[in-house]
Structure 1
Amino acid sequence: MARFIGRAFAVLSPLVLAGCLGDINGTVPAAVTRSVMDGQVVVAGPDGYCVDPRATRENRDEAFVLLASCSSVSATPSATAPFAKSLITVTVTRPAQTGEFDASLSGAEAFFRSSDGRSAIAMDGDPSGVSLVSTETTDDMFVLQAELSDNGRAEGLGRNQWRAIFVVNDNLLSASVMSLASSELSAETGMAILQALVRKIRATSPKAG
Protein backbone atom coordinates (compact mmCIF):
# COMPACT_ATOMS: atom_id res chain seq x y z
CA MET A 1 0.00 0.00 0.00
CA ALA A 2 2.96 2.33 0.56
CA ARG A 3 3.88 1.93 -3.09
CA PHE A 4 0.36 2.87 -4.20
CA ILE A 5 0.07 5.93 -1.93
CA GLY A 6 3.52 7.05 -2.97
CA ARG A 7 2.46 7.12 -6.62
CA ALA A 8 0.13 10.01 -5.82
CA PHE A 9 3.20 12.17 -5.17
CA ALA A 10 5.28 11.08 -8.14
CA VAL A 11 4.20 14.08 -10.23
CA LEU A 12 5.05 16.59 -7.51
CA SER A 13 8.83 16.71 -7.86
CA PRO A 14 10.88 19.56 -6.39
CA LEU A 15 11.72 20.79 -9.89
CA VAL A 16 8.05 20.89 -10.90
CA LEU A 17 7.01 22.80 -7.80
CA ALA A 18 9.94 25.19 -7.99
CA GLY A 19 8.96 25.94 -11.58
CA CYS A 20 5.38 26.57 -10.54
CA LEU A 21 6.42 29.04 -7.88
CA GLY A 22 8.61 30.87 -10.34
CA ASP A 23 5.87 31.11 -12.96
CA ILE A 24 3.09 32.53 -10.78
CA ASN A 25 2.20 36.17 -11.46
CA GLY A 26 1.49 35.58 -15.13
CA THR A 27 -1.08 36.85 -17.55
CA VAL A 28 -2.96 33.65 -18.44
CA PRO A 29 -6.77 33.43 -18.32
CA ALA A 30 -7.92 32.47 -14.85
CA ALA A 31 -9.88 29.20 -15.00
CA VAL A 32 -11.66 28.16 -11.82
CA THR A 33 -11.90 24.44 -12.69
CA ARG A 34 -9.90 21.77 -14.49
CA SER A 35 -11.39 18.46 -15.64
CA VAL A 36 -8.98 15.49 -15.56
CA MET A 37 -9.08 11.73 -15.95
CA ASP A 38 -11.57 11.77 -18.83
CA GLY A 39 -13.91 14.02 -16.87
CA GLN A 40 -14.12 11.73 -13.85
CA VAL A 41 -12.59 14.38 -11.56
CA VAL A 42 -13.08 18.15 -11.69
CA VAL A 43 -10.46 20.03 -9.69
CA ALA A 44 -11.73 23.31 -8.24
CA GLY A 45 -10.49 25.39 -5.35
CA PRO A 46 -12.16 27.53 -2.71
CA ASP A 47 -13.47 30.95 -3.77
CA GLY A 48 -10.66 33.17 -4.99
CA TYR A 49 -8.44 30.30 -6.22
CA CYS A 50 -7.82 29.62 -9.91
CA VAL A 51 -6.07 26.89 -11.88
CA ASP A 52 -2.72 27.75 -13.44
CA PRO A 53 -2.85 25.90 -16.80
CA ARG A 54 0.89 26.31 -17.34
CA ALA A 55 1.61 24.09 -14.36
CA THR A 56 -1.04 21.44 -15.03
CA ARG A 57 0.22 18.07 -16.24
CA GLU A 58 -1.76 14.97 -17.17
CA ASN A 59 -1.10 11.59 -18.71
CA ARG A 60 -3.10 8.38 -18.90
CA ASP A 61 -2.53 7.40 -15.27
CA GLU A 62 -2.13 10.61 -13.29
CA ALA A 63 -2.67 14.35 -13.26
CA PHE A 64 -1.18 17.31 -11.40
CA VAL A 65 -3.04 20.61 -10.98
CA LEU A 66 -1.73 23.80 -9.37
CA LEU A 67 -4.05 26.46 -7.94
CA ALA A 68 -3.17 29.88 -6.54
CA SER A 69 -5.02 33.12 -5.94
CA CYS A 70 -6.80 34.26 -9.11
CA SER A 71 -5.03 37.60 -8.97
CA SER A 72 -1.63 35.85 -8.95
CA VAL A 73 -2.46 33.49 -11.81
CA SER A 74 -3.94 36.16 -14.09
CA ALA A 75 -2.01 39.22 -12.84
CA THR A 76 -5.37 40.92 -12.37
CA PRO A 77 -5.46 42.83 -9.07
CA SER A 78 -9.24 43.15 -9.27
CA ALA A 79 -9.79 39.38 -9.36
CA THR A 80 -11.66 37.83 -6.44
CA ALA A 81 -9.27 37.30 -3.54
CA PRO A 82 -9.32 34.17 -1.35
CA PHE A 83 -9.89 34.62 2.37
CA ALA A 84 -6.26 33.51 2.85
CA LYS A 85 -3.50 33.03 0.28
CA SER A 86 -1.69 29.73 -0.13
CA LEU A 87 -0.42 27.42 -2.86
CA ILE A 88 -2.66 24.44 -3.61
CA THR A 89 -1.70 21.29 -5.49
CA VAL A 90 -3.90 18.34 -6.39
CA THR A 91 -2.59 15.03 -7.74
CA VAL A 92 -5.02 12.50 -9.17
CA THR A 93 -3.92 8.90 -9.65
CA ARG A 94 -5.67 5.97 -11.24
CA PRO A 95 -5.30 2.77 -9.20
CA ALA A 96 -3.77 -0.36 -10.61
CA GLN A 97 -6.69 -2.16 -8.98
CA THR A 98 -9.81 -0.56 -7.52
CA GLY A 99 -9.55 -2.75 -4.44
CA GLU A 100 -6.34 -0.99 -3.41
CA PHE A 101 -8.22 2.15 -2.36
CA ASP A 102 -9.41 0.95 1.04
CA ALA A 103 -5.96 -0.37 1.87
CA SER A 104 -4.40 2.91 0.78
CA LEU A 105 -6.63 5.04 3.01
CA SER A 106 -6.30 2.78 6.02
CA GLY A 107 -2.53 2.59 5.61
CA ALA A 108 -1.96 6.28 4.96
CA GLU A 109 -0.96 7.23 8.50
CA ALA A 110 1.61 4.45 8.77
CA PHE A 111 3.02 5.44 5.39
CA PHE A 112 3.42 9.14 6.20
CA ARG A 113 5.01 8.40 9.56
CA SER A 114 7.57 6.23 7.82
CA SER A 115 10.79 7.47 6.27
CA ASP A 116 9.39 6.94 2.77
CA GLY A 117 6.25 8.92 3.58
CA ARG A 118 8.12 11.87 5.04
CA SER A 119 10.49 11.79 2.07
CA ALA A 120 7.44 12.18 -0.20
CA ILE A 121 6.51 15.37 1.66
CA ALA A 122 10.00 16.91 1.72
CA MET A 123 11.02 18.87 -1.35
CA ASP A 124 14.60 17.64 -1.01
CA GLY A 125 13.56 14.05 -0.27
CA ASP A 126 15.14 14.13 3.20
CA PRO A 127 12.70 12.73 5.80
CA SER A 128 14.60 14.33 8.68
CA GLY A 129 13.31 17.75 7.62
CA VAL A 130 9.63 16.79 8.02
CA SER A 131 7.65 16.61 11.26
CA LEU A 132 4.04 15.42 11.39
CA VAL A 133 2.09 17.84 13.57
CA SER A 134 -1.25 16.03 13.43
CA THR A 135 -3.09 13.30 11.54
CA GLU A 136 -6.72 12.22 11.30
CA THR A 137 -8.35 9.26 9.58
CA THR A 138 -12.09 9.11 8.84
CA ASP A 139 -14.20 6.68 6.82
CA ASP A 140 -13.46 8.44 3.54
CA MET A 141 -10.38 10.63 4.03
CA PHE A 142 -6.95 10.89 5.65
CA VAL A 143 -5.68 14.34 6.68
CA LEU A 144 -2.31 15.49 7.98
CA GLN A 145 -0.51 18.67 8.94
CA ALA A 146 3.25 18.71 8.48
CA GLU A 147 5.99 21.16 9.36
CA LEU A 148 9.02 21.37 7.08
CA SER A 149 12.53 22.60 7.79
CA ASP A 150 14.20 25.23 5.62
CA ASN A 151 15.82 22.52 3.48
CA GLY A 152 12.65 20.46 3.25
CA ARG A 153 10.58 23.04 1.37
CA ALA A 154 10.84 24.94 -1.89
CA GLU A 155 11.88 28.58 -1.91
CA GLY A 156 8.87 30.81 -1.43
CA LEU A 157 6.92 28.32 0.65
CA GLY A 158 6.25 28.53 4.38
CA ARG A 159 6.88 25.87 6.99
CA ASN A 160 3.37 24.43 7.30
CA GLN A 161 1.32 22.37 4.91
CA TRP A 162 -1.85 20.28 5.04
CA ARG A 163 -2.72 17.23 2.94
CA ALA A 164 -5.82 15.13 2.36
CA ILE A 165 -5.98 11.70 0.76
CA PHE A 166 -9.42 10.76 -0.57
CA VAL A 167 -11.23 9.06 -3.44
CA VAL A 168 -13.41 10.52 -6.20
CA ASN A 169 -14.97 8.20 -8.79
CA ASP A 170 -12.40 5.46 -8.26
CA ASN A 171 -9.45 7.86 -8.50
CA LEU A 172 -7.08 8.49 -5.61
CA LEU A 173 -6.55 12.20 -4.85
CA SER A 174 -3.87 13.90 -2.81
CA ALA A 175 -4.75 17.55 -2.13
CA SER A 176 -2.19 19.83 -0.50
CA VAL A 177 -2.40 23.34 0.94
CA MET A 178 0.98 25.00 1.44
CA SER A 179 1.73 28.19 3.32
CA LEU A 180 3.61 30.94 1.55
CA ALA A 181 6.77 32.24 3.18
CA SER A 182 5.31 35.74 3.04
CA SER A 183 2.13 34.74 4.88
CA GLU A 184 2.39 31.67 7.10
CA LEU A 185 -1.03 30.11 7.73
CA SER A 186 -2.32 29.20 11.16
CA ALA A 187 -3.35 25.59 11.81
CA GLU A 188 -7.02 26.58 11.78
CA THR A 189 -6.79 28.55 8.53
CA GLY A 190 -4.76 25.92 6.70
CA MET A 191 -7.21 23.19 7.69
CA ALA A 192 -10.17 25.37 6.69
CA ILE A 193 -8.72 25.88 3.20
CA LEU A 194 -8.04 22.14 2.86
CA GLN A 195 -11.55 21.17 3.93
CA ALA A 196 -13.08 23.73 1.56
CA LEU A 197 -10.91 22.36 -1.25
CA VAL A 198 -12.04 18.77 -0.66
CA ARG A 199 -15.70 19.81 -0.46
CA LYS A 200 -15.42 21.79 -3.70
CA ILE A 201 -13.79 18.95 -5.63
CA ARG A 202 -16.39 16.45 -4.42
CA ALA A 203 -19.26 18.81 -5.21
CA THR A 204 -17.94 19.78 -8.65
CA SER A 205 -16.96 16.31 -9.86
CA PRO A 206 -19.66 14.16 -11.50
CA LYS A 207 -21.52 11.78 -9.22
CA ALA A 208 -20.77 8.10 -9.71
CA GLY A 209 -23.59 6.59 -11.65
Structure 2
Amino acid sequence: MLRGSILAVALAALAACALPGTVTGPDATTLRLTGGIVVAAPQGYCIDPQVTRPQRGFAFLAACAAINAASDKPVPDRMALITVQVGDANSALVAGSEPAFRAFLETQQGATLLGVSDIGGPVDVLSTGAATNAVTVYTRDTAPPDIVGSQPESWRLFTDLRGRVVTITVRGLTQAPLTQVQSREVLDQMLQQLRAANSVQQSTT
Protein backbone atom coordinates (compact mmCIF):
# COMPACT_ATOMS: atom_id res chain seq x y z
CA MET A 1 0.00 0.00 0.00
CA LEU A 2 2.81 2.37 0.88
CA ARG A 3 4.57 1.61 -2.38
CA GLY A 4 1.38 2.39 -4.29
CA SER A 5 1.03 5.72 -2.47
CA ILE A 6 4.61 6.69 -3.31
CA LEU A 7 4.04 5.81 -6.96
CA ALA A 8 0.87 7.91 -7.05
CA VAL A 9 2.69 10.88 -5.57
CA ALA A 10 5.56 10.48 -8.06
CA LEU A 11 3.16 10.35 -11.01
CA ALA A 12 1.33 13.42 -9.75
CA ALA A 13 4.65 15.28 -9.41
CA LEU A 14 5.61 14.39 -12.97
CA ALA A 15 2.27 15.62 -14.25
CA ALA A 16 2.70 18.89 -12.36
CA CYS A 17 6.07 19.43 -14.01
CA ALA A 18 4.36 19.60 -17.41
CA LEU A 19 7.35 18.18 -19.23
CA PRO A 20 8.18 19.65 -22.64
CA GLY A 21 6.69 18.00 -25.69
CA THR A 22 8.10 17.36 -29.14
CA VAL A 23 7.25 18.90 -32.50
CA THR A 24 5.00 16.33 -34.14
CA GLY A 25 5.76 17.30 -37.74
CA PRO A 26 6.39 20.11 -40.22
CA ASP A 27 2.81 21.42 -39.85
CA ALA A 28 2.69 21.44 -36.04
CA THR A 29 0.93 24.49 -34.63
CA THR A 30 1.09 23.83 -30.87
CA LEU A 31 3.87 22.74 -28.55
CA ARG A 32 4.51 22.52 -24.82
CA LEU A 33 7.82 24.08 -23.76
CA THR A 34 9.68 23.76 -20.49
CA GLY A 35 7.67 24.98 -17.50
CA GLY A 36 4.45 23.86 -19.13
CA ILE A 37 4.20 26.95 -21.33
CA VAL A 38 2.14 26.11 -24.41
CA VAL A 39 2.97 27.82 -27.71
CA ALA A 40 0.18 28.15 -30.26
CA ALA A 41 0.88 29.51 -33.73
CA PRO A 42 -1.19 32.23 -35.42
CA GLN A 43 -3.04 31.29 -38.61
CA GLY A 44 -0.66 30.32 -41.39
CA TYR A 45 2.29 29.76 -39.06
CA CYS A 46 3.85 26.49 -37.93
CA ILE A 47 6.55 25.48 -35.47
CA ASP A 48 9.87 24.65 -37.10
CA PRO A 49 10.93 21.18 -35.86
CA GLN A 50 14.56 21.68 -36.88
CA VAL A 51 15.25 24.85 -34.90
CA THR A 52 12.85 24.56 -31.96
CA ARG A 53 14.29 23.32 -28.64
CA PRO A 54 11.42 22.50 -26.21
CA GLN A 55 13.74 21.49 -23.36
CA ARG A 56 15.44 24.88 -23.59
CA GLY A 57 12.12 26.70 -23.71
CA PHE A 58 12.68 27.92 -27.27
CA ALA A 59 10.29 27.79 -30.22
CA PHE A 60 10.82 29.08 -33.74
CA LEU A 61 7.80 29.77 -35.94
CA ALA A 62 7.54 30.66 -39.62
CA ALA A 63 4.99 30.41 -42.41
CA CYS A 64 3.95 26.78 -42.77
CA ALA A 65 4.71 26.87 -46.49
CA ALA A 66 8.26 28.01 -45.75
CA ILE A 67 8.81 25.06 -43.41
CA ASN A 68 7.01 22.49 -45.52
CA ALA A 69 6.62 23.09 -49.25
CA ALA A 70 3.81 20.51 -49.32
CA SER A 71 1.81 22.26 -46.60
CA ASP A 72 -1.82 22.98 -47.41
CA LYS A 73 -2.17 25.61 -44.69
CA PRO A 74 -2.95 29.17 -45.83
CA VAL A 75 -0.13 31.65 -46.30
CA PRO A 76 -0.25 34.32 -43.56
CA ASP A 77 -1.08 37.89 -44.48
CA ARG A 78 2.16 39.03 -42.81
CA MET A 79 5.27 36.92 -43.45
CA ALA A 80 7.52 36.98 -40.39
CA LEU A 81 9.86 34.96 -38.25
CA ILE A 82 8.62 34.48 -34.68
CA THR A 83 10.52 33.20 -31.67
CA VAL A 84 9.29 32.38 -28.18
CA GLN A 85 11.77 32.01 -25.31
CA VAL A 86 10.70 30.82 -21.86
CA GLY A 87 12.86 31.86 -18.92
CA ASP A 88 13.92 29.81 -15.92
CA ALA A 89 11.59 28.98 -13.04
CA ASN A 90 10.86 32.04 -10.86
CA SER A 91 12.22 34.39 -13.54
CA ALA A 92 8.98 36.41 -13.79
CA LEU A 93 9.77 40.14 -13.69
CA VAL A 94 7.17 42.00 -15.75
CA ALA A 95 3.86 42.00 -13.87
CA GLY A 96 3.76 44.84 -11.38
CA SER A 97 6.98 46.39 -12.70
CA GLU A 98 5.93 47.40 -16.21
CA PRO A 99 6.87 51.13 -16.08
CA ALA A 100 10.26 50.44 -14.48
CA PHE A 101 11.07 47.65 -16.92
CA ARG A 102 10.08 49.83 -19.86
CA ALA A 103 12.29 52.65 -18.58
CA PHE A 104 15.19 50.23 -18.18
CA LEU A 105 14.91 49.10 -21.81
CA GLU A 106 15.30 52.72 -22.88
CA THR A 107 18.73 52.95 -21.21
CA GLN A 108 22.07 51.91 -22.68
CA GLN A 109 22.12 48.96 -20.26
CA GLY A 110 18.73 47.88 -21.56
CA ALA A 111 19.88 48.10 -25.18
CA THR A 112 22.91 46.01 -24.27
CA LEU A 113 20.68 43.37 -22.69
CA LEU A 114 18.52 43.22 -25.81
CA GLY A 115 21.60 42.87 -27.98
CA VAL A 116 22.88 39.76 -26.23
CA SER A 117 19.54 37.96 -25.87
CA ASP A 118 17.29 36.05 -28.27
CA ILE A 119 18.17 36.49 -31.96
CA GLY A 120 20.42 39.33 -33.10
CA GLY A 121 23.31 41.47 -31.95
CA PRO A 122 23.70 45.13 -30.89
CA VAL A 123 20.53 47.18 -31.32
CA ASP A 124 19.17 50.71 -31.23
CA VAL A 125 15.93 51.08 -29.27
CA LEU A 126 13.36 52.89 -31.43
CA SER A 127 10.17 52.59 -29.39
CA THR A 128 8.88 51.07 -26.15
CA GLY A 129 5.48 50.44 -24.60
CA ALA A 130 3.92 49.01 -21.46
CA ALA A 131 0.55 47.61 -20.40
CA THR A 132 -0.67 45.08 -17.85
CA ASN A 133 1.89 42.27 -17.74
CA ALA A 134 3.40 43.29 -21.07
CA VAL A 135 6.39 45.42 -22.04
CA THR A 136 7.21 45.93 -25.72
CA VAL A 137 10.26 47.29 -27.49
CA TYR A 138 10.92 47.97 -31.18
CA THR A 139 14.57 47.85 -32.20
CA ARG A 140 16.89 48.06 -35.18
CA ASP A 141 20.03 45.93 -35.43
CA THR A 142 23.27 47.87 -35.73
CA ALA A 143 25.08 44.78 -37.03
CA PRO A 144 23.97 42.08 -39.49
CA PRO A 145 21.27 39.88 -37.87
CA ASP A 146 22.07 36.29 -37.00
CA ILE A 147 19.36 35.03 -39.34
CA VAL A 148 20.35 35.67 -42.95
CA GLY A 149 17.49 37.18 -44.91
CA SER A 150 15.76 38.80 -41.93
CA GLN A 151 15.24 42.54 -41.68
CA PRO A 152 17.08 44.54 -39.01
CA GLU A 153 13.93 45.87 -37.30
CA SER A 154 12.04 43.69 -34.83
CA TRP A 155 9.43 43.83 -32.10
CA ARG A 156 10.00 42.14 -28.77
CA LEU A 157 7.48 41.59 -26.00
CA PHE A 158 8.07 40.47 -22.43
CA THR A 159 5.32 38.93 -20.31
CA ASP A 160 5.03 36.64 -17.28
CA LEU A 161 3.42 33.20 -17.44
CA ARG A 162 3.39 30.59 -14.69
CA GLY A 163 6.18 32.26 -12.76
CA ARG A 164 8.47 32.62 -15.79
CA VAL A 165 9.29 35.53 -18.08
CA VAL A 166 8.39 34.78 -21.69
CA THR A 167 9.83 36.72 -24.62
CA ILE A 168 8.17 36.92 -28.04
CA THR A 169 10.15 38.33 -30.96
CA VAL A 170 8.78 39.16 -34.42
CA ARG A 171 11.07 39.96 -37.32
CA GLY A 172 10.23 40.48 -41.00
CA LEU A 173 12.11 39.29 -44.08
CA THR A 174 14.38 41.41 -46.26
CA GLN A 175 12.56 40.24 -49.39
CA ALA A 176 9.19 41.23 -47.91
CA PRO A 177 9.94 43.62 -45.04
CA LEU A 178 7.24 44.53 -42.55
CA THR A 179 6.51 48.02 -41.35
CA GLN A 180 6.51 48.73 -37.64
CA VAL A 181 2.71 48.55 -37.63
CA GLN A 182 2.58 45.32 -39.64
CA SER A 183 5.09 43.48 -37.46
CA ARG A 184 3.23 44.73 -34.39
CA GLU A 185 0.08 43.11 -35.74
CA VAL A 186 1.87 39.77 -35.86
CA LEU A 187 3.22 40.33 -32.34
CA ASP A 188 -0.28 41.01 -31.00
CA GLN A 189 -1.63 37.90 -32.73
CA MET A 190 1.12 35.79 -31.18
CA LEU A 191 0.46 37.22 -27.73
CA GLN A 192 -3.24 36.48 -28.03
CA GLN A 193 -2.48 32.91 -29.08
CA LEU A 194 -0.02 32.45 -26.23
CA ARG A 195 -2.41 33.76 -23.60
CA ALA A 196 -5.34 31.76 -24.93
CA ALA A 197 -3.28 28.56 -25.02
CA ASN A 198 -2.25 29.09 -21.40
CA SER A 199 -5.66 30.27 -20.22
CA VAL A 200 -4.39 33.69 -19.18
CA GLN A 201 -6.85 36.54 -19.53
CA GLN A 202 -4.94 39.81 -19.50
CA SER A 203 -5.04 43.07 -21.46
CA THR A 204 -2.76 43.60 -24.43
CA THR A 205 -0.54 46.61 -25.07
The TM tier, using the shorter chain, reads 0.7 to 0.9
Q: C-alpha deviations, 1:82-139, integer Å up to 9, x for none?
A: 11101000001134366x454664432233223343234336643xxx2222111112
C-alpha contact 1:105 1:165 (8 A) present in aligned 2: no
Question: Residue 35 in 1 paired to residue 32 in 2?
Answer: yes
Q: Which consecutive residues of structure 2, in runs of 5 or more, have no partner in the other structure?
A: 1-24
1:116 and 1:97 mapped to 2: Cα distance?
19
1:207 Cα deviation after fit: 5.3
Q: Which of residues 145, 152, 161 is equivalent to 1:153?
A: 145
Question: Residue 45 in 1 paired to residue 55 in 2?
Answer: no
1:188 Cα deviation after fit: 1.3
Specify the structure having the higher radius of gyration (Cα).
Answer: 2
Pair 1:38–1:173, CA change in 2 (3 A): closer
Pair 1:114–1:142, CA change in 2 (3 A): same
Instruction: For 1:16-165, list aligned pairs within 5 A.
Output: 28-39=25-36, 41-59=37-55, 62-76=56-70, 78-96=72-90, 100-102=93-95, 105-122=98-115, 125-126=121-122, 130-149=123-142, 151-154=143-146, 155-165=148-158
C-alpha contact 1:50 1:70 (8 A) present in aligned 2: yes
Percent of counterpart pairs with the same letter? 25
C-alpha contact 2:45 2:64 (8 A) present in aligned 1: yes
Partner AA of 1:55 in structure 2: V
Partner AA of 1:29 in structure 2: P
2:83 and 2:138 mapped to 1: Cα distance?
15
C-alpha contact 2:94 2:101 (8 A) present in aligned 1: no
1:182 Cα deviation after fit: 1.0
2:129 and 2:194 mapped to 1: Cα distance?
20
Pair 1:77–1:96, CA change in 2 (3 A): closer
C-alpha contact 2:94 2:135 (8 A) present in aligned 1: no
Partner AA of 1:35 in structure 2: R
C-alpha contact 1:163 1:177 (8 A) present in aligned 2: yes
Q: Which of residues 136, 156, 166 is equivalent to 2:159?
A: 166
Pair 1:125–1:35, CA change in 2 (3 A): same
Task: Tell me the TM-score normalized by structure 2.
Answer: 0.74
1:207 and 1:139 mapped to 2: Cα distance?
12
Pair 1:57–1:116, CA change in 2 (3 A): farther
Pair 1:101–1:143, CA change in 2 (3 A): closer
Partner AA of 1:57 in structure 2: R
2:185 and 2:161 mapped to 1: Cα distance?
20
1:70 Cα deviation after fit: 0.5
Pair 1:115–1:71, CA change in 2 (3 A): same
Q: Which consecutive residues of structure 1, in runs of 5 or more, have no partner in the other structure?
A: 1-27
